[in-house]
Chain A
Amino acid sequence: MLLVALFAFASCSKDNDINTDQELKKALIDEKTTPGGVRVKLWADSEDLRVSWNKLYVSLKTSSGANLTNASVTYKPVMDMMTMAHSSPAEQPVYNAEQSLYEGAVVFSMPSGTMGSWTLTVSVNNEPVVFDIVVKPAAANTKHTAAIVGSDGISYTVALIQPFKPKTGINDLQILINKRQDMMNFPAVEDLSVELKPEMPSMGHGSPNNVNPVHTGKGHYSGKVNFTMTGDWRLHFKLKRGNAVIVEDITLDLLF
């Protein structure tokens, strides 16, 4: 027992060394150990997870302190709303050797609160650990993810990936589109064509020289958006499958 404690202490302090290194870029959300003794640390780009597309990373260490680099890792976000539970779109992690991190992403569709609470189940080689996650509401006057029922009766989710830090001028635009198969499954949608129209709601004007996002893989759609000035911007998306309009208008709001 003492030995284990010592071991844990040793690995902890060792971990800390690595953590400081990583802490330069990432914020530690929480850490857990799998039944098999793998230390799972959950990281994000900032301490605050919000109602939006959030990049989430895990680092894995075996009980001997070695980095575990070839595990199969999955994310499963679940919101427990007392009477029901639902999941949300997630991008499953893949290992990034450069950072020694597994990188994935989760779209949290609602904030934590009286309505319910979020958990994220991270499975490492089918051994789950469950993190309690606090999801904060989107920053004031912004909306980085939205859901709407399409003309085909299916609910679609659009989430903003880029621009993370919008600026005036041309920005790379990337969105993630998922559909709700059932309450627990939100697969990526890869067969849509997207039309983009930015607007400044307080003035009603748009901007020229935008490029409609096109599918680049795994539900990611990439294009360009031109912000002629700072302030509140609304991105209007029209989703089509072939010639059929699936969603006439779904909007995301940005502020910078």
Chain B
Amino acid sequence: MKRQFKIWTAFFGLSAFSATLRAQNSDSLDRQLPLRTLLLQEVPVSPSKNISEAAREIRQNNLQELTDKILEYTPGINMIRRGNFAMEPSLRSLNGGQITMSINGMRIFGACTDKMDPISSYVEPNNLESFSVSYDPGANAAGSGIGGGIDFRLKQPSFSDVQQWSGRFGSGFETNGAAVQTLAGVEYSNADLAFQANGIFRRSSNYRASGGREIPFSQYRKWNGSVSMMVRSGKSGYLKADYLQDEGYDIGYPALTMDVAFAKARIAALSFVRNSRAGMVRWETKGYYNYIDHAMDDTRRPPETVPMHMDMPGTSTTFGAFSVLDLHLSDSHHMKVKVDGYHNRLWATMTMYPSDGSPMFMYTLANPVRSDLGLHISDAISLSKKLTLTPSARLEYMHDAISGSDAKEQLSGLFEGALSRNRMVANLSIAASFQPDKDWLLNAAIARGGRAASLQEAYAFYIYNRLDAFDYLGNPDLSQESSLNLSFGSTYRNSSLEISTNVFGYFIQDYIAGTILDGYSTMTIGASGVKQYINVASARLYGGEVALKWEPMNRLVVSSLNTFTRGSDNEGSALPLIAPFKTINAVDYNFRKTFFRIEGVTNAAQKHVSTQKYGETMTPESTILNLHMGKQFSLSKQTKLKINLSVENLFDEDYFQHLDIMKISRPGRNLTCRMTVLL
């Protein structure tokens, strides 16, 4: 019982078609992954996640849905949409540098100055095992932020006593945009070696909004491949190598002025893991490297919309390492210590080609480099059977600098004096969970979060923000943004009903936002002006999530996932990119490896906006209805065939959501058919 409440986000096995998901997942954890229990226990409790699994399960079990959509149906997460691909996750409406995003604990930073390449776009459902969401800045081991973070965990092979082969392949088709997906994967394991490889290819033409209206520049094409290998080393240790490559081409961003010619990611890691005393101690040390290469493209846009052709490439290079020790000191005492560091270098330039006159070149990110060292400690102590306290802390030191004399010279026109900065950030929290009886779980947390300005916020050089149509300048002298986070959660559960509620209030100080600079001329043709990042004295964010799951009769599950946030700054102006109330209500019916799901997604209107200050306009309410059905056939003892059919936006509504930049209509009716064979 206790473990069910503990941390874990989701283990989406391939054993999808079961109404008793939770029990199954726990079983599979126990059986296959004794070493991972501890790891999973690191993540703070968020009971509502259990309920949201059904929605995610359905989206992930065919291994073909975009990770974006899997995230979108998770309470607390809203996606900032710039195109039909590579949406940017926001956590309780916090985004960018306010939250951390990592893959297997590795820090990866996007290379695009227009935020076209959130790292979630490099993870595909066929190599995603789970993602863990942490709202607690102190307990977030990946990095510093005021709103926690999301860590994507890639699938990994596991050793087996007898030699085993397994594989999978599948394909899917969507009517809207004539999108196709094709995937294949293979896994081999024996007692000392485990290997896995996964690949997926997907493409889509322009999608159509309601009424068959084509949305130009919404196409994409990408492939993703990953390999993972584990070799046993000694009795209780193993060496693991991971490599992931993701390449996207010709990706349209209808909400932006440019598209993407290519977006490439190479992510490599080498880890050494040691376990001792039957999983009482787990020690993982990892070194990693990633390189993101990104090039924007305006050559396919109609000439009348391109006042001047430009090239805007960017790269992000990160080296990092960490060593993490999980200590299961006793049944009532778990401790985790992590030391980590990384070195990230960004490079982004813009070259403009006027029809008459010489090309014009500048850095938009003039080689800013961040070197980072962090220490994380978390200690979960059960004071009694009912009460567990978890104090956590994360300290992080950063050194930012500009590399290259031409880069320094260019920035000399904007910033006086030396450009390097040292930053120190502390995240502290204490969480308590109290289980008065077997039906109830209460938890509360208080945290002090802090985060350094991102390299973009510190050193941006006329980076255009489509949301408010301003060119942004960085500010190396930004103070850290800090917050006091209060949260309270409760879960009630009996045999047929489960209700989880989280409420939170974040009291932010030195909120980082843009302020208009008078007398500065814009770099971007058509921009409204120039803004520079400053610290706004304070801001407030509050909201909550409510998840409900009810099984009125056998095989029938009614669920409701609700997310709400509201934010305002010190002058009472609404903060930008705050999602309104969102509710996802579904009825699931499972019968003999067949499932049906009917699902309504409603976003309330967002009227709490500050057009003047942050450039946002109001967004109307929207509701869509989705249908899903699936069946699993056993072709032989091992071979299974899964077929999923779905209709998204059944009534072909014309709609968009508040976090959709430029309010481009989302897809109209979409029929999808997906087949996956498990060998």
Contact = CB atoms under 8 A, between A and B. Distances in A.
Interface in A192-240: 200-209, 226-232
A170 interface: yes
A4 to B, nearest CB: 54
Nearest to A255: B358
Interface string B515-552: 00101111101000000000000000000000000000
A228 B461 CA distance: 9
B409 interface: yes
Interface string A54-85: 00000000000000000000000000000000
A168 interface: yes
B462 interface: yes
A136 interface: no
B413 A227 contact: yes
B572 to A, nearest CB: 31
Which secondary structure characterizes the binding site on chain A?
Answer: loop
A234 to B, nearest CB: 11
B360 interface: yes
A218 B410 CA distance: 31
A10 B365 CA distance: 60
Contact of B360 (A141, A204, A207, A231): A231
B413 A228 contact: yes
B112 to A, nearest CB: 19
B523 A228 contact: yes
A169 interface: yes
A26 interface: no
A207 B411 CA distance: 12
B362 A168 contact: yes
Interface stretch (B254-262, B349-357, B388-396): B349-357
Given A168-B406, A208-B520, A231 B413 contact: no
Contact of A208 (B356, B357, B408, B519): B519
A168 B409 contact: yes
A200 B406 CA distance: 20
A206 to B, nearest CB: 4
A232 B521 contact: no
B470 to A, nearest CB: 13
A203 B411 CA distance: 20
B360 A230 contact: yes
B415 to A, nearest CB: 9
Given A167-B409, A168-B409, A202-B354, A231 B359 contact: yes
A159 to B, nearest CB: 22
Contacts of B413: 168-170, 207-209, 226-228
Contacts of A226: 413-414
Given A169-B413, A231-B352, A205 B360 contact: no
Nearest to A230: B361
Interface string A161-180: 00000011110000000000
Question: Could you say which interface size class chain B belongs to?
Answer: 20 to 34
Nearest to A199: B521
Contacts of B352: 202-203, 229, 231
A228 B410 contact: yes
B360 A203 contact: yes
A226 B416 CA distance: 12
Contacts of B354: 202-203, 231-232
**Which of A202, A204, A207 lies at the interface centre, i.e. has the most chain B CB atoms within 10 A of its CB?**
A202
B412 A170 contact: yes
A14 to B, nearest CB: 42
Interface in B393-443: 406, 408-414
B39 interface: no
A202 B356 contact: yes
A232 B409 contact: no
Contacts of A169: 408-413
Nearest to B413: A226
Contacts of B360: 200, 202-203, 229-232
A141 B521 contact: no
Contacts of A141: 357-358
Nearest to A209: B413
Interface string A230-256: 111000000000000000000000010
B23 interface: no
B14 interface: no
A200 to B, nearest CB: 7
A33 B409 CA distance: 46
A206 B357 contact: no
B308 interface: yes
Nearest to A227: B413
A109 B414 CA distance: 34
Contact of B358 (A167, A204, A227, A232): A232
Nearest to B461: A228
Contact of A205 (B358, B406, B521): B521
B668 to A, nearest CB: 39
A207 B519 CA distance: 9
Given A201-B357, A205-B523, A228 B362 contact: yes
B357 A202 contact: yes
Contacts of A205: 521-523
- Give the top 8 A-B pairs by smallest Cβ distance, nearest first: A231-B360, A229-B362, A202-B354, A226-B413, A169-B409, A202-B357, A169-B412, A168-B410
27 contacts: A168-B361, A168-B362, A168-B406, A168-B409, A169-B408, A169-B409, A169-B410, A170-B412, A202-B352, A202-B360, A203-B354, A204-B521, A204-B525, A205-B521, A207-B521, A208-B519, A209-B413, A226-B413, A228-B462, A229-B360, A229-B361, A230-B358, A230-B360, A231-B357, A231-B359, A231-B361, A232-B357
Interface of B: 308, 350, 352, 354, 356-362, 406, 408-414, 461-462, 517, 519-523, 525
Interface of A: 141, 167-170, 200-209, 226-232, 255
